[in-house]
Structure 1
Amino acid sequence: METFFAEPLLHLSLMAIALIAGFVDSIAGGGGLITMPSLLSAGIPPHIVLGTNKLISASGTLIAALTYIRRRLFEPKLWIACALATLIGSCIGAILAKYLDASMIKKGVPIIIIGIAIYMLIPKKQAAHKINNLIPSKTKQVCSGLSLGLYDGLIGPGTGSFWTLLANSLFKQDLVRASGIARFMNLMSNISALATFFYLGMVDWRLGIMMGIANMLGAYIGAKSAIKYGAEFIRPLFIFFVVLIAGRLIYIEYLI
């Protein structure tokens, strides 16, 4: 009887986690900080986790990006260079991920995740820039897209948060518009990495689609909330949840 109920309960739990991750990611970024350790904790092979997590993330970032575009909080035509560079960087990162040792992924990801969570916990001065229509520097766009795209394809967690901070500080966008830029660029890197992982056979489509649907719902609710209320109300809960899951992974990998 326990075996009969184990898999459905696991799937429901992972879908609930994906919904929360989509909500958080569309507001502050970092949804992968929640889904990746959860998939690893569920016993999914590390390389499959990388590919499946990209399917989940792509589902949520699609909904979130469209929401920001519809509200005219992001203009894709101004960010073409950045989007193309992100696609290229993410593809390269995903190819490199194929050659990462599985044990390195399992032991390294929780450390990286907790490091990013601590970084996000540190108060940062986020400039309250006025909305501007300046065309962003293409050189800055390409450098940003290649570097963050590479990171997202290779590892992934925290990319959305990095994009938000970068758009706010480097490109002088107000926080809500910076979130819109982050969601779109995250979508670009997710699509590129997902296509690469699909070609390499590193995606669990059944689990990814189930969690992706839940992630889309969370992203829709989160994007609406972010536009209305801003990002700060979710951050303490987000950090607590991330550290809790990553701490469990560290306990499993290093202390047992």
Structure 2
Amino acid sequence: MEITVELLGLLFIVAVIAAWVDTLAGGGGLIVLPVLLFCGLTPVQALATNKCQGFVGTLTATMTLIVKRKLSVRKLPVLMFYTAIGALTGTWLIQQINTDWLQWFVPVLLLSIAGYFWLVPAVGAEEGVPKMQEKTWARYVVPVIGFYDGFFGPGTGSFFAASQVALRGKKLIEATVVAKPLNFVSNITSLLLFAAGGQVIWLIGVVMMVGQMLGAVLGAHSIYWGGAKLIRPIVIFMCIAMSVRQLWLIV
């Protein structure tokens, strides 16, 4: 493929938009991956390069939230550890087995999350009663989501946030904030394995990194500008959009 200045400019804009959406609700890969494939990258190169630019967005969002004192780092090391273990395992396993069943499983999973937020409008508006202890969630749910990101990827931020709302009774805003550093860890872990295999197109990745920084900063501020009223419809839309796109490809 020929990498032109015009192409890099387009990908920069795509990265800004994707980072803003991903910071608020997850699913930025829905925007980036089709564009990278359309530009001529192979599926593996597109996935690897998406991780390359995506980790910068989640890192920028995390640092912005820490600076704004909206994110507590006290419990993050343990959660990051379990996320990394899951992502490492998923990234390794995706290269070893047949994954045809994911074509149907993932859309169903995403539509379930969209339906949950749609049918329960007040979900995440107020803190609820936890259905699972924090240690249990950290040890079992977090690594599973990390595994999913390394294994496949789309919607990881949504899964991190939704699991906290549904299982830990957290507010949607709080859950979305905590999802950022966990998504960063799963991204960077997968990226290291892809980079070792020489699958990252670095020129495209670096340009999109800059766009991700800008979009993530805007997204981190937007979390508190619009609150749950902004995040909830984006979560629903992104889950449905990712599902429709996946089903469209396999029908």
TM bucket, shorter chain: 0.7 to 0.9
209-218 or 114-123: bigger deviation: 114-123
1:202 aligned partner = 199
Q: In 1, Cα distance between the equivalents of 2:179 and 2:196?
A: 26
Q: TM-score, normalized by length of structure 2?
A: 0.82
Q: Which deviates further from its counterpart, 69-78 or 238-247? A: 238-247
Q: Distance in 2 between matches of 1:20 and 1:85?
A: 29
Equivalence for 1:230 = 227
Decide whether aligned partners of structure 1 residues 30 and 232 sit closer, same or farther in structure 2, where only a CA change above 3 A counts. farther
Is contact 2:21–2:219 with CA below 8 Å preserved after alignment?
A: yes
The alignment status of 1:90 with 2:114, answered yes or no, reads: no
User: Which whole-Å deviations, capped at 9, do the CAs of 1:116-164 have from their partners, x for residues lacking one?
Assistant: 66445430531333499xxx62232011221001100111110001111
Q: Which residue of 1 aligns with 2:167?
A: 170
Alpha-carbon distance in 1 for matches of 2:181, 2:187: 10
Residue-by-residue CA offset, 1:216-245 (whole Å, 9 max, x unaligned): 111100110112212543636983798499
- Please tell me whether residue 211 in structure 1 is matched to residue 208 in structure 2: yes
What displacement does 1:214 show? 0.4
The whole-number CA distance in structure 2 between the counterparts of 1:174 and 1:114 is 25
The aligned length equals 243
Partner of residue 237, structure 2: 239
Residue of structure 1 equivalent to 2:135: 138
CA distance in 2, matches of 1:166, 1:117: 12
Q: Which SS does the other structure have where 1:77 is aligned?
A: coil
SS in 2 for 1:76: coil
Q: Which runs of 5+ in 2 are unaligned?
A: none
Contact in 2 for aligned 1:38/1:245 (Cα 8 Å): no
1:40 maps to 37
| Structure 1 alignment gaps of length 5 or more | none
The SS at the match of 1:129 is coil
Aligned CA RMSD, in angstroms, stands at: 3.3
Matching residue's letter, 1:172: G
Identity across matched positions, percent: 30
Matched, 1:59 2:62: no
**TM score, norm. by length of structure 1:** 0.80
Change beyond 3 A, Cα 1:137–1:153: same
Aligned counterpart, 1:72: 69
Q: How far did residue 71 of structure 1 move?
A: 2.8
Q: Which of the numbers 173, 179, 183 marks the counterpart of 2:180?
A: 183
Superposed CA deviations along residues 72-108 of structure 1, whole A, max 9, x for unmatched, are 332222233221010111111112233467xx78x97
8 Å CA contact 2:62, 2:180 repeated in 1: yes
